[in-house]
Structures are given as C-alpha cells and as structure tokens.
Amino acid sequence: MERIILFVDHYQRKNNNQILFDKKVKTSMKCRNPWETLTVNQYGESYICLSPAWLPKSIGSLLDHSDIYTLLNSHEALSIRTEILNNRYSYCNSNICGTFFNRLNKTEFDSMPGTMDFNLLDSTNFVEDAKVTRIPKNIIFDFDYTCNFVCPSCRSDLINNNKGPMSGTNNLIVEKIKKLIIDNIKFPTEIRWAGGEPFISKAYIDLWEYIVQSDNKFIKNVIQTNGSYLKKKEDLLLQFLPYVTELRISFDAGTARTYEKNRVNGNWQTLLENSQWVSDLIKKNNFKTRITADFVTQLNNYMEIPEYVNITKKIGFNIIRIGKMWNWDTWSHEEFQERNVSDKSHPLFKSFLDVLRRPDILKDNTIVKNYWINELNDKT
C-alpha cells in the first residue's frame, strides 16, 4: 500500500498504462536519477526523476519545507530509492521511461504485473544509502506553464500565470528556490527550465536575475523555448547566456503549414529568423552556449523530418533532436494512439523508421534518435 498518492500522479499512471509491481530487474547497473535529480512542478510538487510521467510519485511540495533535505529525504523519496536499491523499480513506468529505453532497455523482468500479493517496501526497509546529502546535480523547474502558444500536444487553453492566483503561488515557490536550492548549490549543477515559455515567465526571469547576481559558477542552465521572444529579449539574453549551456528551441515541423498546426500562435518565419539570430549572437559574443532543435514526432509531421534536419543544420544547430510524444491529456487515448506514430505498436511505425534510416539522417551524429536505436541497429 502507498502512504500518499496524489490525484495527478494517479492520473499519470492511468494515462500512461502504468501498473505498480516488483519488476525484479536483472541488472547490476542501478538508475541514479532519484539520487541526482529534482523536478519542481506546479504548487511546488517535487519529483526525483527527469519526468514525473516516468516516475509518477511526488516526494512532497517544496512549499511545505524549510530545509531542502527534509524534502529530498522524505518518506516517499526514501521509499522510491529503496525500491531501486532492491532492483524492484516498482514506482517506475518502464513503458515510457527514458532510462529503460536507453541503459536498461535490454533487461528482463523476473515477474509480471498483476501479482496479487505485491507490497511496496516501507520504512522498515529503508537504508542509509537511500538518503541524499547534497543538492541533486540535475534540477528541473517546470512549475510555471505561462506560454503564448496553445500547442495541441501540450494544452487546450492559453495560460498566463504572471497574474491571477497562480502568480502568488509562483512567488512563494521562487523564494523557496532561492533560499533552499540556489543558495545551497556548492557543486556543478544543471538547471533545466521548462513548462511554458520561459522568456515571458516573471517567475523564471526573477530566478535568472538572482542567478546572475549570485554569480554562482557551479550553476549551468538549459532553457526550453518556443523561440518566439528571442529577439525581443536581447538584453536578457546577453546577460544570461554566459550561464546557459544549452538553448533548446522547439520546431515540431519542417514546413510552415505543419508548424502553424502543431505550434498554435507561432509563426514559422519568426522561428527561423529568431533561430538564426540567436545562433549568430552566440557566435558573435563567443558564448559557449550550444543550441538544440527539438522535434516531437507525430502523425502529421514525421515525413517532414528530413526538411527539419536540413533547415536546422543550415541555421547552425549543434544538436538536432527527434523525440517521442507524451500524453498530456489534451487528446483522448484513442486520438493520442492514432497520432503517436513513433510508438512501436503504431501501424506506420515501420514507415517512421524508414525516414530515420535515410543515410543523411541515420549517420549524422548531431541527430539524437536514441529511443529507437535498437530498432535502427536491427539488421533483420
């Protein structure tokens, strides 16, 4: 039995077909994400994985703690880590988890879901190795969903948390982050900024300015952006880019027509101009920031992957990503399955792989396509 289960975690499990069970993973290589990762979502709800969908079990809210280590070593956090130390991975969703797709993809399970007598480990099983004693090296701030886009794969309404009730909650989260996290970073730490459009988030910009003022050389930042405000935020970029290791810009298309369907309120020409502008700005100022292009694969865009690759290579992107869809409940299960062409069960999955197998894509080391690496390497 679980001590606490949030409604959002329950829904993540239901939405992504997760069943809790002792997976009895046959490997000596244990996932380190729950020791090295902290994700802060809306209302300060915190997770110790790169994605709450991969490990949908909150360890508590940042707003309820005055010491970061009481959060990082909460009952829920120790329970998650203890499961992994025992090679059970019970809370992890192996159906979609990136770690299982990458490092643990070839492991086998001794048990199958549906075991009637399955029980999660409890505090009597906790050990010292389940605790952490330093700030995780991977931090993801995903608590502000403010965005000028209404992308169908992400949301159904325009969200502006710069005002209204959520602005007050965000302000509380910002102050907690400053005191409990940023002020305590003493080792190399990467912070990823996501959730909406960071360049129009008052909460995120407040924290960026705090990081610049603190001049903490241990902090490196990764920003996920739709690219629409880059030129408009030149002063901010010049100030913050020295602290940014990676700027990730979402494309999700290779043509204007598809882009404006997948990135509603976005303009294709603005995206291309801003991407080229920021690439030139980085080179001109000798910033070490690398720029990455993001592409969420779906039914209406997978045939445009070659165009997307050619365009982003010409602009000068250092990394070109081709990624999977996740179900954020903006579509029914049936519609999501129809659109999710990169899933192995989709009738057009082979057609999608054929696109990735094009020589100019398959052999290009700047293109990240790790979710399907086993299928692409399969010669049969």
Residue partners of 92: CB distance under 8 A and separation at least 6? 23, 31, 49, 54, 55, 84, 99, 100
pLDDT in tens, 245-261: 999 999 999 999 999 99
- Sign of the Cα pseudo-torsion (277, 279, 282, 286, in order): negative
Q: Are strands 45-47 and 138-141 parallel, antiparallel or unpaired?
A: unpaired
State CA 261 to chain mean position distance.
Answer: 22
- Measured distance CA(222)–CA(281) in Å, rounded: 17
Do residues 233 and 209 touch, judged by C-beta distance below 8 A? no
- pLDDT < 50 stretches in the chain: 380
Of residues 316, 369, 374, the one with CA closest to residue 105? 374
- Measured distance CA(164)–CA(155) in Å, rounded: 19
Of residues 150, 48, 30, the one with CA closest to residue 87? 30
3-state helix, strand, coil in the chain (%, to 5): 40, 15, 45
- Measured distance CA(334)–CA(198) in Å, rounded: 31
User: CATH topology for 143-377?
Assistant: TIM Barrel (3.20.20)
All CATH 3.20.20.70 domain ranges in the chain, comma separated: 143-377
Do residues 313 and 326 touch, judged by C-beta distance below 8 A? no
Residue 250, helix vs strand vs coil: strand
pLDDT of residue 380: 47
What amino acid is encoded at 371 in this protein?
Y
Two tokens at 145?
């969903």
pLDDT in tens, 96-121: 887 776 655 555 565 666 655 678 99
- Measured distance CA(214)–CA(210) in Å, rounded: 6
Q: Please report, to the nearest 10 degrees, the dihedral formed by the alpha carbons of residues 49, 202, 292, 101 taken in order.
A: 20
